[in-house]
Chains A and B, each alone.
Chain A
């Protein structure tokens, strides 16, 4: 099998996703962690497009890289404080457990890759509109009609709950003296 553009782009975006997420969880500075997480989500959106989930790739960019990350940046603005000691891993036992877990994970990953089906099915074998906005809309308004409506109620409750929790006059929050 010769090097091809598909494989090169896959490795490029997966390297960006893995590298970006590793940088995200190791940063002390919260703003750079959020920015690297945005890069990670963009790479994952590109990988969604590889899997013929074009609509979901666009939704991923809009919802994650747009809405959720803006929310994170606003909270970082409120919380702007570096940690004194960011990592909780201490001692020989914790480190050896971590290394054992990592070894097991790599072993299982190798197994998955080794036994993976050689080729993913070509686009021609599927329905021609697989993953398109039209097919997605048909799915959401037929088989997924109840979850689709239920999730709108969940989102409404989440918005109200977030407002109640974050409101300064919340009764369960102890106000500082003289405030």
Chain B
């Protein structure tokens, strides 16, 4: 038990990444505010990055870090477009509640 507490292994980082990803999933599925959903998506991307870097560290391979760099750049692009969509939706409907955005539903 004490060994798990004080001997930090790659598994600790993987478990932390899984916990952060799960929190992001819960936020994206359960919250109704579009902004909180976007924040949860960012959290999930960060958790995936943490996993990539943990494996890069374990294998001593820089390619994991290159992929994580690409993920960060794509996350920035995703946040910009996502927030622009939220602003656009808010302009036309005066709210950002994703449960009430049902105009594409048949």
* Interface size of B as a range: 35 or more
Verify B43–A116 contact, CB threshold 8 A: no
For the complex, count residues of A whose C-beta is within 8 A of B. 92
Q: Give the chain B neighbours of A11 by CB distance below 8 A.
A: 5
* Distance from A97 Cβ to chain B, minimum over Cβ atoms (Å): 11
Q: How far is the CA of A163 from the CA of B6 in the complex (A)?
A: 49
Verify B8–A47 contact, CB threshold 8 A: no
Q: Chain A: which residue is nearest B40 at the CB level?
A: A25
Verify A139–B65 contact, CB threshold 8 A: yes
Verify B90–A48 contact, CB threshold 8 A: no
Q: Chain A: which residue is nearest B82 at the CB level?
A: A162
Q: Give the chain A neighbours of B81 by CB distance below 8 A.
A: 158, 161-162, 165
Once A68-B76, A79-B86 are accepted as A-B contacts, the answer to whether A24 and B27 lie under 8 Å apart by CB is yes
* Distance from A35 Cβ to chain B, minimum over Cβ atoms (Å): 11
A-B contact count (CB 8 A): 251
| Residues in B35-53 with C-beta less than 8 Å from chain A | 35-36, 38-40, 42-43, 46, 49-50, 53
Q: Say yes or no for A155: interface residue by CB 8 A criterion.
A: yes
Verify B35–A56 contact, CB threshold 8 A: no
Verify B66–A83 contact, CB threshold 8 A: no
Q: How far is the CA of A109 from the CA of B73 in the complex (A)?
A: 29
Once A18-B23, A47-B13, A158-B77 are accepted as A-B contacts, the answer to whether A72 and B39 lie under 8 Å apart by CB is yes
B60 interface neighbour in A105, A119, A121, Cβ under 8 Å: A121
Q: Could you write out 19 A-B pairs with CB less than 8 Å apart? A: A1-B3, A21-B20, A25-B23, A25-B24, A25-B31, A33-B35, A47-B16, A50-B13, A51-B50, A68-B79, A71-B79, A83-B32, A83-B97, A87-B32, A89-B30, A130-B62, A139-B62, A161-B80, A165-B81
9 more contacts with CB within 8 A, not counting A33-B36, A116-B11, are A24-B43, A37-B39, A64-B42, A85-B32, A120-B8, A121-B60, A143-B63, A173-B91, A174-B92
Seen from chain B, the residues whose Cβ lies within 8 Å of a Cβ on chain A are 2-16, 18-20, 22-24, 26-27, 29-33, 35-36, 38-40, 42-43, 46, 49-50, 53-54, 56-58, 60, 62-63, 65-66, 68-70, 72-81, 83-88, 90-92, 95-97, 99
